Structure formats: C-alpha cells, structure tokens
Amino acid sequence: MAATVRMHMRRLTRLTNAHSKKLENHDPVIALHFFYYNFCNIHQNLRCTPAVAAGVTNKLWELSDIADMLDVAERLAT
C-alpha cells in the first residue's frame, strides 16, 4: 500500500516543489487520496471499489460526488 500511495501522489516523493511543507496542508491531500482510492477507483482484483466490496457503499463514486460532498461540508462549517 505504501508504494501505491507514493506512486499516485507525487507530493510524497519530494522530486518537485509540490511536496507538502506544512502538516495542515498535507493531511487533507492524503485523506482525499485515500477516499478516491477506496470509493472511486475500481481495483483489478476486486472488480469493484474496496468500499463496495466491504459493504460501506453500494455505488461507484465519481469525482463530482466528492466535490459536492466537500462543498456541503464547507457550507456547514461556516
């Protein structure tokens, strides 16, 4: 799993200026990656997302669903 995260997230390799210097900037990106990986990405071995396989959800999420959810959470926070 660590290799997957490093390969998908260039900010963890520090080869560019895109790496996170502050923890408060780093945490949301890691959380977003894991959410995408578990709810949107169809895995070859499972032939579905890990969240569907575990019974957490019954649909394949899309990036627009994540964006809508983040908009609602931001509105509720203010």
Residue indicated by tokens 């990986």: 37
Give pLDDT tens digits for 7-25: 666 666 665 555 556 777 7
pLDDT of residue 16: 57
SS (H, E, C) 7-70: HHCHHHCCCCCCCCCCHHHHHHHHHHHHHHHHHCCCECCCCECHHHHHCCCCCCCCHHHHHHHH
pTM (2 decimals)?
0.70
Neighbours of 74 (CB within 10 A): 9
Query: What is the domain partition of the chain in residue ranges?
Result: 21-77
Give pLDDT tens digits for 41-54: 899 889 999 999 99
